[in-house]
Amino acid sequence: MSWLGQTRLTLRRLLSRRQSWFALFVISLFVVMALSAPVLSPPAENTDLPVGLKRVGRASGGVPRPPSDQARLGTTSEQYDVFHALLWGARNALRLGLSVAIVSAVIGTLVGGISGYVGGTVSSVAMRVTDAFLAFPAVLGVLVFSHLFTNTGVDWTVPPTPIPSILSDVGLNTIMVTLMAFMWMPYARMVNANLQQIKDSDYVIAARAVGASPRRILFRHLLPNVLPPIIVLMARDIGGVVILDAAFSFLKLDGMVEWGQLLASNRSWLVGVYGNPFTYWWVLLPFALALILFGVAWNMLGEGFNFALNPRARQ
């Protein structure tokens, strides 16, 4: 079957499940939110705030304000516009999730693919390094990278490091770099294990017999056969990365997506008055629903890809 025919068959299998339609609808909704953010809620001018935050009223208000003409979904206790943060948060969520998933997949595929094809000592050393990264907590990694990149030590005589400006120039920040550094390992282990099983298959032996170079065998014959599980893992990681970013915000680490940042900064208002969480519902529900739907939709899309690409999942 041709590549085009295989793609059509995969799409038919993917769209044969209602969960996939729901996932694609929700993801499309977030994409529309992200693209329409500059139109529906333009960023504030002449302010030092990040583009994803817009202040309505005085910052000293101290109490979240309900929806009004000035703020369609109300404001947080810092008087940040919830509607504005919801739209621009979709941009950062997609940017963070896609960037981390793609870079992690590329790094892990290269490490696992090269080590799996070469085998022997190279494979063993590569997998031990992978295990060492797996054993290192991501939260500790955020702390380490934050100190390395921002130079927040007690020695004020040390000049500021240029790393933050370099990262900013290429569109990265501490959270993105940390997650990229600590999320490639599952890809490496999966690709390495799969290549160990198929690298001595008949079609690989035939390719060697006709003089194909190791690079051509690896990238033309082997890696395409392990692409389906990589796609499945990437889809699940996109949503998981944003949830993890929100968790970092609650731990008072560097969060990137406004949804988690504002939930964390308004945690004292989430339970409302006398334990009623709906007293200040606009502080909780929009951001919580966005995080839940974003994570669930990408996870369901991953399940759909698993059904479409993995014959065992259809049995």
pLDDT single digits (tens) 137-192:
777 777 777 666 665 444 444 455 666 666 666 667 778 888 888 899 999 999 99
The answer to the question of residue 8 being in a domain is no
Q: Exposure of 44 by Cβ count < 10 A (0-12 exposed, 13-18 middle, 19+ buried)?
A: middle
The 3-state DSSP class for residue 261 equals helix
Query: Which tens digits make up the pLDDT trace of 279-303?
Result: 888 888 999 999 999 999 999 999 9
The pLDDT, as a whole number, for residue 238 is 94
CATH number where 103 lies: 1.10.3720.10
Residue 314, pLDDT > 60, answer: no
Can you give the pLDDT at residue 204? 85
The total of structural domains in the chain comes to 1
Residue 240: phi and psi, rounded to 5, are: -65, -35
CA 49 from centre of chain: 24
Question: For residue 267, what pLDDT band results from cuts at 50, 70 and 90?
Answer: confident
Whether the predicted pLDDT of 312 surpasses 50 = yes
Gyration radius from the chain CA atoms? 23
Residue 1 maps to a domain:
no
* pLDDT (tens digit per residue) in 221-264: 888 888 889 999 999 999 999 999 998 888 887 788 999 989 88
Domain that holds residue 96: 16-314
Residue 4 lies in a domain: no
Q: Which residue has the higher pLDDT, 230 or 199?
A: 230
- pLDDT per residue as tens digits for the range 70-97: 888 989 888 899 999 999 999 999 999 9
- Is residue 3 included in any domain, yes or no? no
**Percent over 90 (pLDDT), the chain:** 36
Residue 9 domain flag: no
Q: Is residue 5 part of a domain?
A: no
Whole-angstrom distance, CA of residue 11 vs CA of residue 6:
9
The answer on pLDDT for 66 being more than 80 is yes
Residue 113 inside a domain? The answer is yes
Is residue 226 in some structural domain? yes
Please state, in angstroms and rounded to a whole number, the distance separating the CA atoms of residues 101 and 106. 9
Instruction: Give 14-33 pLDDT, tens digit per residue.
Output: 888 899 999 999 999 999 99
